[in-house]
Structure 1
Amino acid sequence: MKLQYISLFISVFFALNFSAQEVKNTSLPKRIYTTKKLNAVPVIDGFINEEAWNAVEWSSDFTENNPDEGTPPTYQTKFKVMYDAKYLYIALRALDDNPELIQQRLTRRDGFAGDRINVIIDSYHDKRTAFVFTTTAAGVKGEEIVTQNGNNWDDSWNPIWYTNAKVDNKGWTAEMKIPFSQLRFGDDKEQIWGFNVNRTIFRLQERSLWQRIPNDQAGYISEAGELHGLVNLKSQKQLEIQPFTVLQYDNYPAEPGNPYRDGSDFKINGGLDAKIGITNDLTLDLTINPDFGQVEADPGAIALDGFQIFFKEQRPFFVENKNIFDFEFANGRDNLFYSRRIGRNPHRNANLKIGEFANVPQNSTILGAAKFSGKTKDGWFIGVLESVTANEYAEIKQTDGKTREEIVEPLTNYFVARAQKDFNERNSYLGGIFTATNRNLDGNFTELHKAAYTGGIDFRHTWRKRDFYLEGNAIMSHVTGSKEAIENTQLSIARLFQRPDATYVNLDPTRTSLTGTGGRIEAGKQGGGNWRYNGGFIWRSPELELNDVGFLRNTDEMIQFVEGKYLWQVPKGIYREMSLQVEQSSTYDFGGNLNRIRFELEGNINWKNNWFTEIGMGSSSQIHRNAFLRGGPRWRVADDKFIYAFVGTDRSRKFSATLGHVIVRSNEDVFSRNRYVFRMNYQPFDSFSMSLENEFEQTQDKSQYVTTRDFGNIKRYILGNIENDSWTTTLRLNYSLNPNFSVQFYGQPFISRGRYSDFNFVNNSVASSFSDRVNMFDENQISTDANNNFLIDENKDNVTDYSFGKPDFSFVQLQTNLVVRWEYIPGSELFFVWARGSSGSQDFEDSLSKSVRTQVFDVPANDTFLIKATYRFVR
């Protein structure tokens, strides 16, 4: 444990000692634009030729932000701002001496391609949060909510507003009309809002700002200029109701004798989404029986380590304003709220007798969900979410022709409450979160938690113009249930309390609750000068459990980390900007065991021609994995070294590509991995674009876990040498007839093939050499039977001591999705969807390409045809 405390001291000292040094950064006065009430209403057609715009003056004098910060831009930009009782009006003029070179790329909403202008409005004036409205030269609109002072940009927000753009002989122009009901602000007689305008000249990859923000500034929203002159604005409470109807036809391979899989299904569904402005600061979102048929399918993946896989949320109701409810307490994916738990697939399968068939729902029905969220003028950031999923039943057809029902998922209530409060002139905040999952088990589902609660607090404090920061959080979880449920939690792969060498935890089958903690503390420098650095400490206690409504991959960890980065931010010679970063971390378990030391060095260069290069290398040593043997003792993993390199071309060109290669090698050649990456984007003409992402990975591991068997009173942990090849391709095609009508295609074949050889069993799991950690089976100890099972005669007495099945596999999945979207009036849409997919196992002796061809052309697929219509009523 001494090394643990030394590492923690180094991290905190590194971060706080540097923070005591004097930092020089550029301090600039705030620019102010004073708007006026309009005299007449302009037509939002992209032409700034109405007399109405003469009520206010142009503002200009933009400053280049990237690549050469602080210099005049290649071409200037001008804007005007007016308002009336309900709307904010903005006129934009982007000057360009070569209008024929302006990139007018048509995309779907939020495409953000081509020449564009972002209007950034901090109507809260909290200097941390902003609403961003984007118009491209092609008239495509986009919107984002910015939080964390510019560190988080969320494009899931889809307000109703109006815009248009036109190219002329001076460049291009745009007009915006933004309802005040889509913004959030206080009730002061005269409003003062944070305000900035950002222009991107796509072909030059050049950005310029109205309010200059030097690169050494730590914040983005906090450094914006100000919009004055908004007098006597009346609260415009939002009321939007959006009913929808869905027609769905499914076609799939019929299963002989199964009445529930006769080859096709047809259903009609409907529901309602609503958005109600409770005050001008706080909004209530409602959904009843939501439908998510138009979202993409999850990508293919296989977890050979036994841990659950994180999938990104894609359902619109949960994606929008997702940042409000996020509570990432450690690093990576860990979060107290993971919305994919709501509406998940049922926990149980149907119990079938021979000759019976079942109709099991794929997902739990969301009866209803509500979100109450917003930020008040006093600095309170509030979010409350409530959702209920239904009892789910499998209908079972019995052999006598009768049917019965069997419950597979209980009625469940999910509740999340999140709050933050700004202090110290918006430079600091203190927040908290509480989540609750309650299931109506009704004497059933003894394997599930009856209730699960989590709570946490978080804080952040910045000083010296936000250049330095101290932040952290602490959380606690508490789950209750039957003895079976809590024992299952203790035995799960995230904990494995039964491990024979884990003396600091105990498996207690009589427990009916479990309480754990976790958290993170971090300090560092995020702005000012060329240096950035931070250090901190993370912990997850063995008893921590978040997976009822959160995401937690593993527990029993304490991590010390420290990072340092040097930035070259001024273009010079052949580069636009560069960075060099070094990282170090150490990981321990709660028994004080050192489980990993890791170092990494990474460099990034953005070249003068807009190409980029990323190169990194590192090593890991003293690696131990507590869960590797699935309940056995700690396993010593061979030390490894890795190197990676990525090169990308100019993304502003019609064709751009990225090539990457990752190499990992371990000591004694126990483990090796080669990962090849190829990505490309091609836009042959403005209305059509395509992207292709290819990843091919070759892995060889002499210590891949296979199974555990009993050999008398001894546990035998069987390992093997796996050669695992995986390949995934993601193709996207986008065609836009205009900004409101688009056709999108998504296709992804995925294959993972593993072949095993050289089976062995664990001898001394923590020995320094691999040859001492395992014993190889010789030819007299291992044989196979007619069913390809491996028979082990360990003591060579001609009697099989134990056996296991052949673990070789070849899994193939194909997912495609064709979506036609038409926004026929603002906020109201029609979707036409064709989804096609299949998955299954192929012959592992076949090549990867042959396995994919077989799955695509020879295996019957499932087809879904869907029409979804929405209409948004706005008041």
Structure 2
Amino acid sequence: MFVSRSRRTVVPAALSVVALLAALITTSSSRLRAQTADSTRATVGQAIRATRAPDIDGRENDAVWRAATPMTAFRQFEPGENGEPTFRTEARAAYDDRYLYVIVRAFDPHPDSLAALLSRRDVKTASDQLKIIIDAYHDGRTGVELAVNPAGVKRDYSIYGDITEDATWDGVWDVATSIDSLGWIAEYRVPFSQLRFTARDVHTFGFGVWRDITRLNERTGWPLYRPSRRTLISQLGTLEGITGIGTPRRLELLPYTVTKSVPNPAVPRGGVRGSLAGGLDLKAGLGSRVTIDATVNPDFGQVEADPAVLNLSAFEIRFDERRPFFQEGAGLYRCGGSCEGIFYTRRIGRTPQLRRSNADALFTNITAAAKITGRFDNGLAFGLVNASTEQVRGADGATIEPQTNYLVLRGLREMRGGRSQLGMELTDVRRRSDAATDPFLRRAATTLLLQGYHRFARDRWEVMGYTGLNEVSGSAKSIALTQRNSVHFYQRPDHEETYDSTRTAMGGVVVSAGIKQVGGRVRYENVLRYASAGVEMNDLGFVNLVNDMSFRQSLDLRQLRPNRVLRSSFSTMSAETHWTTGGLLAAQTVSVHTSGSLLNNWGGAITASLSDVGNTHCVSCARGGPALRQSMKNNLRFDLVGDPRPVVVPRAAYRIGTSDEGRSWYRGADAGAEWRFASRFSTSLALNYDQVTNDQQWIGNYGAFLSDTTHFTFARLHQHILGITMRANWTATPTLSFQLYAQPFVTTGQYSNWRELSDARADEYDDRFSTFRTSAPANFNVKQFNSNAVLRWEYRPASAIFLVWQQGRAQDARNPGVFVPGRDVRDLFGARPLNTLLLKVSYWFNP
């Protein structure tokens, strides 16, 4: 049951937003039911039944290709929309009971100029490319993309929401390529078991073909694709003539075994532990509309490590999800806006929250996880994720992460060909707490989201809205910690809510509404958001901004055709204002950004912003102390990117900023390049360096809790930050590759001028602080190194062997506060390495 005083007036308003969207959708649906499909879908291709399956050899000498009708009406969409293609392209389609076959002939008068670079699967290079797009449901919202370059390197994506690509989907399909005197050919064989469609006698698929010509930086498509419309699947043509294929059996099994040699941090002079484990991934079709994905004892040891970072802010840092099981199909759980914070998959299998030492486990093992998804002809779709993680004990035997169950349920209804949507999402977390965890971790957390959008005026405008209700519960001590954490800071003396140490539950509501123009050269957006103070979604989500009312507006300008100077350009202006729910001005930002690509394919961007404009106050800076008045900040950034086609592609960036009336400042630069010195070898190097002075870096709060004697202290911090990121790739064949990632990271900090708050809202900057101590906090020198080397061999379709070597180093005891780059990097490599060696073997079954 959701309870909160602040929600009594907000919940009716929130629900009215969704109700208004439902009314708009119903009205538009009745008005548009009789309209014909968009004109771009009028182009129709015909697939013929193959009496004899073609040999997948990249050649067009099979009888079926001579009989098939070609699709030839290709049009250019980059650099100019609806332009005449430089070279001719033809595509043909056929099928039998098990497969869809497609062959694409890309004519080119200079085949020796084709760009055909080798890389491992799913890595995009500056190569020519042919891609087929299939919407087997023919719903105008979902589909798959299957791409290949002349060297035979495959890339594939799933698509959701009409335009959003999910690069983590790995289908099982075949393609062969060849280069001849006329250009090049790609010949596809796509199992119907890899597509999702409903059972019927006659099928019509959404269908499209795209071609990239790298040396001309040109893209063409069948049928005409218009980038100005911000849609993709709904612009496809149709592929007709497919009959009598039935519903394929869909069952895939991927058992795997993993052997590891991992470091033992508890042994001072080194030591390793060996382990042998196994697991299973399963994918099965429950009828033609429902799919289940499951994993038992998964291992993601081949996944690249997170970048090193030192976080001195009040809030945690969000890292990207890299684990394939959680990446695939994630689009169903996104709603195209800030409501996506409700489900952050990195919470599942997280670092134990009560981890105390390096001897404790770094990750929580996932015992089992399952996803069920379904999609129906009437626009209904649903998804369910359930995952269970094991109890983790620390080196001292105490529980540092309890056994936990995570549940996510998503349901939606799409109408008007996907132009309107109403949806809901429910997340629930349940922890099996014990005496060690009950005072610190919440036992349960539940969130319910209702959302919708509606496009109108020929898909050029969109209104959206959502509302979320949330509640967490646990022991009084754990809820007291929740009230005092960096998301809430209920102990702040000028907070809108009252800290209550006896609570055993808390919750809140989030509501948002917006309108935006999504098509055309000029685009405009307005968004309103309200989040009450009690919202706590971080058990399974990632929402740090609560106790907030905000208004954001932006204006975008896009160039649709090349001119005498620019191939393309994009500019945007935005303004954003935040208040606490009590009306205190918390932030105000104005920014301008412009980017473009020259006719020689070099690109650049300029971004400028002013923040904390006006009488704004930081409610988190004092970590539970009073809101601190802020002085205006200004930031400026320049980016430069070289032409992606040559052997060396340079990149550079420079950034500067000042704040606190000139007392705080930063300047930094990035420099790097990608270097492909052979078709099979490529490498990249990126160097970033920042010098930062923060005159109001929080240090600590001292004194009696919730009393007038508490000292909220700050200091001046001068910091150097150096990071070097190196990558190397070697590809023997499209199925055998080696990748190396390495990143040394060094940051030093030197403190001075230790002060405490005296008058947090004083007009004059110096009047806000007074001396706390004449000494300064301890300086630091933090050094980290992470590397990941992966040899991958796909020895048969979807079956792979991974040999992985990971190394980590850390050191923070030497030369605190003193930055000498060469010495610091040498010292880092003198630190004890922690090496992990992993061998993972998987075998794909399709019984």
TM-score range, shorter chain: over 0.9
Partner of 1:376: 376
Moved more, 263-272 or 51-60: 51-60
Partner of 2:29: none
User: Residues 728 and 741 of structure 2 are in contact (CA less than 8 Å); yes or no, is this contact kept in structure 1?
Assistant: yes
**Identity over aligned pairs, percent:** 29
> Which of these residues, 693, 709, 723, is aligned with residue 728 of structure 1?
723
Counting only pairs closer than 5 Å after superposition, residues 121-270 of structure 1 correspond to structure 2 as: 121-150=134-163, 152-251=164-263, 255-256=267-268, 263-270=271-278
3-state secondary structure, aligned to 1:45: coil
Partner of 1:410: 402
Deviations 1:41-61 (A, max 9, x none): 111121222223223122213
Q: CA deviation at 1:252?
A: 6.0
Q: Is structure 2 residue 323 aligned with structure 1 residue 315?
A: yes
Q: CA deviation at 1:451?
A: 1.0
2:362 and 2:561 mapped to 1: Cα distance? Answer: 54
1:456 and 1:539 mapped to 2: Cα distance? Answer: 14
1:731 and 1:667 mapped to 2: Cα distance? Answer: 36
Q: Is structure 2 residue 293 aligned with structure 1 residue 301?
A: no
Counting only pairs closer than 5 Å after superposition, residues 484-633 of structure 1 correspond to structure 2 as: 484-502=477-495, 504-528=496-520, 530-620=521-611, 621-622=613-614, 623-633=616-626
User: Residues 329 and 474 of structure 1 are in contact (CA less than 8 Å); yes or no, is this contact kept in structure 2?
Assistant: no
3-state secondary structure, aligned to 2:224: coil
Q: Is structure 2 residue 845 aligned with structure 1 residue 853?
A: no
3-state secondary structure, aligned to 2:66: helix
2:145 and 2:188 mapped to 1: Cα distance? Answer: 12
3-state secondary structure, aligned to 1:314: coil
Partner of 1:799: none
Partner of 2:784: 813
In structure 2, the CA distance between the partners of 1:702 and 1:361, relative to structure 1 (3 Å rule), is closer
User: Residues 682 and 729 of structure 2 are in contact (CA less than 8 Å); yes or no, is this contact kept in structure 1?
Assistant: yes
Deviations 1:221-243 (A, max 9, x none): 11111111111221113111111
Q: CA deviation at 1:596?
A: 1.7
Q: CA deviation at 1:359?
A: 5.7
User: Residues 616 and 645 of structure 1 are in contact (CA less than 8 Å); yes or no, is this contact kept in structure 2?
Assistant: yes
User: Residues 838 and 855 of structure 1 are in contact (CA less than 8 Å); yes or no, is this contact kept in structure 2?
Assistant: no
User: Residues 660 and 765 of structure 2 are in contact (CA less than 8 Å); yes or no, is this contact kept in structure 1?
Assistant: no
1:75 and 1:365 mapped to 2: Cα distance? Answer: 53
User: Residues 719 and 759 of structure 1 are in contact (CA less than 8 Å); yes or no, is this contact kept in structure 2?
Assistant: yes
2:77 and 2:548 mapped to 1: Cα distance? Answer: 42
2:556 and 2:708 mapped to 1: Cα distance? Answer: 54
Counting only pairs closer than 5 Å after superposition, residues 648-687 of structure 1 correspond to structure 2 as: 648-666=641-659, 668-687=661-680
2:631 and 2:657 mapped to 1: Cα distance? Answer: 12
2:829 and 2:663 mapped to 1: Cα distance? Answer: 38
Q: CA deviation at 1:838?
A: 0.9
3-state secondary structure, aligned to 1:714: coil
Deviations 1:437-461 (A, max 9, x none): 1111255522211111011011110
Partner of 1:787: none
User: Residues 843 and 851 of structure 1 are in contact (CA less than 8 Å); yes or no, is this contact kept in structure 2?
Assistant: no
Structure 1, unaligned runs of 5 or more: 17-25, 352-357, 397-404, 784-789, 791-805
> Which of these residues, 427, 439, 443, is aligned with residue 435 of structure 1?
427
Q: Is structure 2 residue 359 aligned with structure 1 residue 348?
A: no
2:180 and 2:828 mapped to 1: Cα distance? Answer: 49
Q: CA deviation at 1:217?
A: 2.3
Q: CA deviation at 1:349?
A: 4.2
Deviations 1:583-642 (A, max 9, x none): 111110111111122111111111111111211212121332101101100011220122
User: Residues 422 and 430 of structure 1 are in contact (CA less than 8 Å); yes or no, is this contact kept in structure 2?
Assistant: yes
Q: Is structure 2 residue 682 aligned with structure 1 residue 689?
A: yes
2:380 and 2:732 mapped to 1: Cα distance? Answer: 43
In structure 2, the CA distance between the partners of 1:132 and 1:437, relative to structure 1 (3 Å rule), is same
1:290 and 1:663 mapped to 2: Cα distance? Answer: 44
Provide TM-score, normalisation by structure 1.
0.89
Partner of 1:285: 293
Q: CA deviation at 1:851?
A: 5.0
Aligned amino acid, residue 786 of structure 2? Q
How large is the Cα RMSD of the aligned pairs? Answer: 2.2
Aligned amino acid, residue 149 of structure 2? T
Aligned amino acid, residue 269 of structure 1? A
Aligned amino acid, residue 33 of structure 1? G
Partner of 2:79: 67
In structure 2, the CA distance between the partners of 1:340 and 1:327, relative to structure 1 (3 Å rule), is farther
Aligned amino acid, residue 158 of structure 2? I
Partner of 2:805: 834
Partner of 1:793: none
Aligned amino acid, residue 605 of structure 1? G
Q: Is structure 2 residue 716 aligned with structure 1 residue 744?
A: no
In structure 2, the CA distance between the partners of 1:29 and 1:133, relative to structure 1 (3 Å rule), is closer
Partner of 2:345: 339
In structure 2, the CA distance between the partners of 1:267 and 1:705, relative to structure 1 (3 Å rule), is same
1:568 and 1:630 mapped to 2: Cα distance? Answer: 45
Counting only pairs closer than 5 Å after superposition, residues 698-737 of structure 1 correspond to structure 2 as: 698-710=691-703, 713-737=708-732
Q: CA deviation at 1:549?
A: 1.2
Deviations 1:333-389 (A, max 9, x none): x611111111122233479xxxxxx96333222111111013222212211011111
1:848 and 1:336 mapped to 2: Cα distance? Answer: 43
User: Residues 422 and 451 of structure 2 are in contact (CA less than 8 Å); yes or no, is this contact kept in structure 1?
Assistant: yes
1:445 and 1:329 mapped to 2: Cα distance? Answer: 34
2:150 and 2:270 mapped to 1: Cα distance? Answer: 51
Q: Is structure 2 residue 76 aligned with structure 1 residue 105?
A: no
In structure 2, the CA distance between the partners of 1:162 and 1:848, relative to structure 1 (3 Å rule), is farther
Q: CA deviation at 1:250?
A: 2.6
User: Residues 41 and 235 of structure 2 are in contact (CA less than 8 Å); yes or no, is this contact kept in structure 1?
Assistant: no
Deviations 1:802-836 (A, max 9, x none): xxxx3321111101111000000001000011111
Provide TM-score, normalisation by structure 2.
0.92
Q: Is structure 2 residue 77 aligned with structure 1 residue 77?
A: no
Partner of 1:389: 389
Deviations 1:527-574 (A, max 9, x none): 13x211110112221100111111122321111011111222111101
1:631 and 1:328 mapped to 2: Cα distance? Answer: 33
User: Residues 820 and 833 of structure 1 are in contact (CA less than 8 Å); yes or no, is this contact kept in structure 2?
Assistant: yes
1:85 and 1:721 mapped to 2: Cα distance? Answer: 72
Moved more, 709-718 or 239-248: 709-718
3-state secondary structure, aligned to 2:338: coil
Aligned amino acid, residue 668 of structure 1? E
Q: CA deviation at 1:273?
A: 0.7
User: Residues 656 and 666 of structure 2 are in contact (CA less than 8 Å); yes or no, is this contact kept in structure 1?
Assistant: yes
Q: Is structure 2 residue 844 aligned with structure 1 residue 863?
A: no
Structure 2, unaligned runs of 5 or more: 1-9, 22-37
3-state secondary structure, aligned to 1:873: coil
User: Residues 246 and 868 of structure 1 are in contact (CA less than 8 Å); yes or no, is this contact kept in structure 2?
Assistant: yes
Aligned amino acid, residue 817 of structure 1? N
Aligned amino acid, residue 117 of structure 1? L
User: Residues 731 and 748 of structure 1 are in contact (CA less than 8 Å); yes or no, is this contact kept in structure 2?
Assistant: yes
User: Residues 159 and 166 of structure 2 are in contact (CA less than 8 Å); yes or no, is this contact kept in structure 1?
Assistant: yes
Partner of 1:401: none
Q: CA deviation at 1:190?
A: 1.5
Q: Is structure 2 residue 447 aligned with structure 1 residue 454?
A: yes
Moved more, 452-461 or 552-561: 552-561
Deviations 1:125-173 (A, max 9, x none): 11122211111111011110112221x1111001111111111111111
